[in-house]
Amino acid sequence: MSASTASIPCQHLRVAESDVGEVALCPDCGVVSVVLAFMTLRIPLAEFGVFQGMLSRAQSRISALPTAYGNEARADALTGPESHLH
Ligand SMILES: [Zn+2]
């Protein structure tokens, strides 16, 4: 109910990018957008650190699995085996 910027387009600041997507911050909204090939996650800035920590724990556990779910499978799982961006 307190929004006063309805007519002002958001200015997204790209803060990181990689082969699988990019991360953009909207300082006005306080939202971090994680943009992947076919989906975008919008996460409140206050929760982004928690989100990042969750991903780090997931990667740690995946890497610790005895089978080959580690580095090789990561990129392919996100983009498909034949859709590399570079
Ligand atoms: Zn915004």
Q: Both tokens of residue 14?
A: 């790209």
Q: What is the Å distance from ligand 1's center to 12 Cα?
A: 7
Q: Which residues surround ligand 1, an ion (CB under 5 A)?
A: 10, 26, 28-29
Model pTM score: 0.63
Q: What is the Å distance from ligand 1's center to 44 Cα?
A: 11
In 3D space, the residue among 24, 20, 26, 28 whose CA is nearest the CA of residue 2 turns out to be: 28
DSSP state of 45: H
Q: What is the Å distance from ligand 1's center to 1 Cα?
A: 16
CA atoms of 64 and 73, how far apart (whole Å)? 13
pLDDT at 85 over 80: no
Cβ-proximal residues to 42 (8 Å cutoff; 6+ apart), any chain = 31, 32, 33, 34
The model's pLDDT over 14-62, given as tens digits with 9 standing for 90+, comes to 999 999 999 999 999 999 999 999 999 999 999 999 999 999 999 999 9
pLDDT at 12 over 50: yes
CA atoms of 20 and 38, how far apart (whole Å)? 10
